[in-house]
Amino acid sequence: MCVTTSYQPIGPDKATPVERTLFYMMNNLLYSRMDVSFPSNDEFFDEDVNIYLANLLTSLMDPNYHELIKKYLSPYDTALFENVRSSGDPRTKFMIYKTNADYILISLGIFRNANRSRPNSIPHLGLPEEAYAGRAKSYYNLAQSYAIDTFRRNSAIGDIMGKLSRGFEKYVTVLSQLRGKYFNIRKQMTAGEIYHLLCEVDEIGTREHLGKLYDEFLDAYTAYNKSGSAKCKRTLAGIASRIGELDPRFSFQLP
């Protein structure tokens, strides 16, 4: 699908730091949606989801939000369900499911690390991303149900939970685009990739160093031919030896 929608950048010139951050998140979220051909309201009305996601991303800079995560986030499903079972308040149950679903959404979309949502898990026993996506969709769906119990009716936040459950994969794709193009967050390099990168850097450094040594060699060779002194000969021999260590193809015999 070709997307021709354009968005007008939002935000007043005189805004608080939090407002500027929110405007930045919203602008780049909308651009990301266009980039991946998922414009707003493509399958269903979801401009409210845009506002929710922009606020969620902005809240990541708020220490109070991270305290909220610590309060409701559960490292294992058994702990999550136990927390829900032991709570008689539908609002608390709503917050538990919403917080855990949000955390998986951010982990998959922004950090590309599903196991981040289960910080105490063993890496080689970690679940695939599809499994985490399925859990998040279920959590959002349950959060919608408890939102209805909390407010005794359908509510805006409940509708958003349902839309996040319904279009979870789409929103992960949008956040992934946001991560790379606008946040400039790149995937973590493997040990092999780091090794090859270091080799390339070393090779570039060696070539640059060799270029300087060859220049020094030519200067020393010219000076030796002019004077023939023992000092110039030692300098020439030392440079030739250093070049030979870096370039095995180099061969030079002193006169």
The answer, yes or no, to whether residue 227 has pLDDT greater than 60, is yes
**Percent of the chain at pLDDT exceeding 70:** 85
pLDDT tens track for 114-167: 665 454 444 444 577 888 999 999 999 999 999 998 888 888 999 999 999 999
More confident residue, 239 or 169: 169
**Which residue type is seen at 10?**
I
d(CA 163, CA 157): 10
* Positive or negative torsion for Cα 33, 184, 28, 104: positive
d(CA 223, CA 219): 6
The answer, yes or no, to whether residue 58 has pLDDT greater than 70, is yes
**DSSP summary character for residue 37:** T
Q: Quick one: average pLDDT of 29-38?
A: 94
| Residue in 134, 115, 133 with CA at minimum distance from that of residue 124 | 115
The answer, yes or no, to whether residue 92 has pLDDT greater than 90, is yes
Mean pLDDT taken over the chain: 83
Longest dimension (CA), the chain: 100
Beta-carbon-side half-sphere exposure of residue 55 (alpha carbons within 13 Å): 8
End-to-end CA distance of the chain: 74
The model carries a pTM of 0.66
The answer, yes or no, to whether residue 100 has pLDDT greater than 50, is yes
| Residue in 224, 98, 244, 82 with CA at minimum distance from that of residue 157 | 98
The answer, yes or no, to whether residue 173 has pLDDT greater than 60, is yes
